[in-house]
Chain A
Amino acid sequence: MLEVDDVSKSFGDHAVLRKVSFKASEGRVTALLGANGCGKTTTFRLIMGLLAPDEGTITNGGVPVARRQVGYMPEQRSLFVDCTVDAQLKLLGRLRGMPEDLLEMRIGQWLAALGLTAARYRPIRILSKGSQQKVQLAAAVLHDPTLLILDEPFNGLDQDSVQALAAVIERLKEKGRIIIMSFHQYAMAGPLADDYLLLEQGRLTAAVTRQQLDADPRRILAVRAAAGFQLHDDSIIASRQTEDEVRYTVADRQAAGRLMGRLHDDRDVQAVSLGPLSIADVIASGARS
């Protein structure tokens, strides 16, 4: 288990992290949420040992994190784009001390799993953004790390690429890896994560588990309706407008069912759906655990 305990970090007068503590377990995906500049990347650099904390400790299984235990995928396209996929992966595998035959085997396996076998000897620069991100993921997991850190893994990807990456992350989770991902758009954390941590201005302000979300009686009623439509009921705790719908947080399942029935008969309503509470709704409603 990765344990981040009371960690603080400042650059000059600017405090980036203040007394941050959390745990990330094997076989679970931890989503680190927060706006740009809230300290997510600094947290990752501290975990990887690239920076030293001013205060606090970071351990994995009770001992300091060893670099080679870590697989890291940065938010940016961090690749030598003039090289082939094979050359890029071999560089990182060799730097991590992998034997050549194992390296060859793993490259073949991962490229097949990610649908990139045909691109193995192609220059990275000619690959699509989604394929480049898959190469980055392959580079991060090639040495079979126990701790996988993915910084904004789905940023700028199309739905197919997101699903392909999510499937691989799910597989690694089943293999018992500790996976930490960061997101600045809360909705993207989606159902993949088991634990959600919210960082705001260097402080950890919320920690919610998927079980807590599932067990929460509150329900989300998503309504797409004509302009000027308003829904009023005592059971509605909060509401927020997204791009094309209004999401109402309803107190419990029964009230949500009742409202659902009411809305079916309303001519102004174009579409309505009922679902469990998401982390984005929790954060938006300010109802944090």
Chain B
Amino acid sequence: MRTLVAFALRRRFCSMLTAVFNLLVAAAIVALFFLDVLAHAAAGPVTAVYLDDTTRGMHERFESFVHDDFHYEVSSRPCGDTAAILHFDGGWTVYSAKALDQGMMDQIRADVGQVIAERYLAYGDAVTDSFINDYRREIANQVVQQTDQGGDAYLWIIESVVYFMILGYGSAIASDVVYEKATHMLEVLLTAVDAETHFRAKVVTGYMSLAIQGGLGAVYVLVGFLLRYRYDRLAGLIAYGRQTLAAYGCAAVPTGLAVGWPAVVLSAALIGTGVLTIQVIMLIIASQLSSPEDASGLQGPFYVALLLGYYALMYYGEVADMQTPAGLVLSQLPISSMLVMPVRLLLAAAPWWQGVTALAMALAGLKAVTVLGMPFYQRGILDYRIR
């Protein structure tokens, strides 16, 4: 089995396609560490403040202000990335797609204070400095794309990445079987090893591919981190991250995260068992196919089913929903448990023993799929009938 696994891993990781893929992944990860620099370069700074209908009567005065880095203009357009909107509805608000820097906000507050003061003076009211200052303080910068994402969203994002990597690798392993079968390479291999060894080698190859790719990913993260550390000791990225998270209404660290060793170990074990189960299922399905054409015909509906399952889980993805009976059941069922239970465990929404029962059921599911699927695999890999 070791020979088969080593050969398959060498084929996978010593290919031009994998090299290009890894180059792209490495570039993407390093780019993430320079997100603030890239975002600034791509979008450019906010250079205009649009005056909407609610500030009618004051347009001319605002447009008369001259600043080096921005200007006011009358417009009913959406703000986009390079403009903000000044709005008055009893209180003053600056709407923008991203958080404005402190200097610009101070300047807008000063301008608004100036306009208000002039209007009050024009009406002959007595205006004190303290009144104007109070008014200025009320002006808030509100980001228009504000969302209600909570801390648990990050866990779902990480889990989604894991899930789609699993699908990708499971699919690659299944394609290997279809290729070997279509070229009759399998028959040659089966004169040297038995079908069970071949089957196990495929599963181990898939698992090790995932581990190696994960290891490579960790190296890319380290490289990105070191490059950014040399650039500015992460200062720019941290400031950008805080600003963005604050603007989007998120805490810097997901709230309620309970990252204890039992939760991490159980989560890793659940994800690992889920990976193996999905791969075994995909291998058994692949063994029933005779050609790459059959495989592509089947892949569509199969992926739709997996994606529907995924979106259903996302729908029940809120912590509150996971405490419903449906959430509890999904966190115990093999395969779905690899997505739901880690989130519940890491958010302290489930006691540890529920993680253990989910893992026991996942392992039982894996064993059942392997034992029940093996005869289908052994028959399937030598069956070339058109389906």
Residue of B3, B15, B184, B382 touching A78 (CB-CB under 8 A): B184
Chain A residues with CB under 8 A of B184:
74-76, 78
Q: A50-B382, A83-B11 are in contact. Are A91 and B190 (CB under 8 A)?
A: no
Interface membership of B191, Cβ < 8 A:
yes
- Complex CA–CA separation, A189 to B184 (angstroms): 23
B183 touches A67 (CB 8 A): no
Contacting B at CB under 8 A, from A47-106, are: 48, 50-51, 67-68, 70-72, 74-80, 82-83, 87, 91-92, 94-96
- Complex CA–CA separation, A67 to B190 (angstroms): 8
Interface membership of A229, Cβ < 8 A:
no
B192 touches A96 (CB 8 A): yes
Residues 27-59 of A, flagged 1 when their CB comes within 8 A of B and 0 if not, give 000000000000000000100101100000000
* Interface of B, helix, strand, loop or mixed by DSSP: loop
- Complex CA–CA separation, A5 to B194 (angstroms): 24
Residues 161-192 of B, flagged 1 when their CB comes within 8 A of A and 0 if not, give 00000000000000000000001110111111
- From residue B51, how far is it (CB to closest CB) to chain A in Å? 63
Interface membership of A139, Cβ < 8 A:
yes
Interface membership of B239, Cβ < 8 A:
no
B382 touches A94 (CB 8 A): no
B187 touches A45 (CB 8 A): yes
Interface membership of B251, Cβ < 8 A:
no
- From residue A78, how far is it (CB to closest CB) to chain B in Å? 4
Q: Which of B4, B183, B185, B192 has the most CB of A within 10 A?
A: B192
B183 touches A95 (CB 8 A): no
B188 touches A139 (CB 8 A): yes
Interface membership of B385, Cβ < 8 A:
yes
Residue of A11, A72, A83 touching B188 (CB-CB under 8 A): A72
B187 touches A95 (CB 8 A): no
Residue of A71, A77, A82 touching B11 (CB-CB under 8 A): A82
A48 touches B191 (CB 8 A): yes
Chain B residues with CB under 8 A of A87:
7, 10
Interface membership of B364, Cβ < 8 A:
no
Chain A residues with CB under 8 A of B183:
76-79
Chain B residues with CB under 8 A of A91:
3-4, 7
Residues 1-24 of B, flagged 1 when their CB comes within 8 A of A and 0 if not, give 001100100110001000000000
- From residue B6, how far is it (CB to closest CB) to chain A in Å? 9
B187 touches A67 (CB 8 A): no
B193 touches A95 (CB 8 A): yes
Q: Which of B7, B188, B190, B385 has the most CB of A within 10 A?
A: B188
- Complex CA–CA separation, A246 to B344 (angstroms): 83
A72 touches B187 (CB 8 A): yes
Chain B residues with CB under 8 A of A79:
183, 185
- From residue A86, how far is it (CB to closest CB) to chain B in Å? 12
- From residue B8, how far is it (CB to closest CB) to chain A in Å? 10
- Complex CA–CA separation, A11 to B15 (angstroms): 39
- Complex CA–CA separation, A67 to B15 (angstroms): 32
5 interchain pairs (CB within 8 A)? A67-B191, A68-B191, A74-B184, A78-B185, A87-B7
Known contacts A79-B185, A87-B10, A94-B3, then 18 further A-B pairs from the complex at CB < 8 Å, ordered by chain A residue:
A11-B385, A50-B190, A50-B382, A51-B382, A67-B190, A67-B191, A68-B191, A68-B192, A72-B187, A74-B188, A75-B184, A76-B184, A78-B184, A78-B188, A80-B11, A87-B7, A91-B7, A92-B188
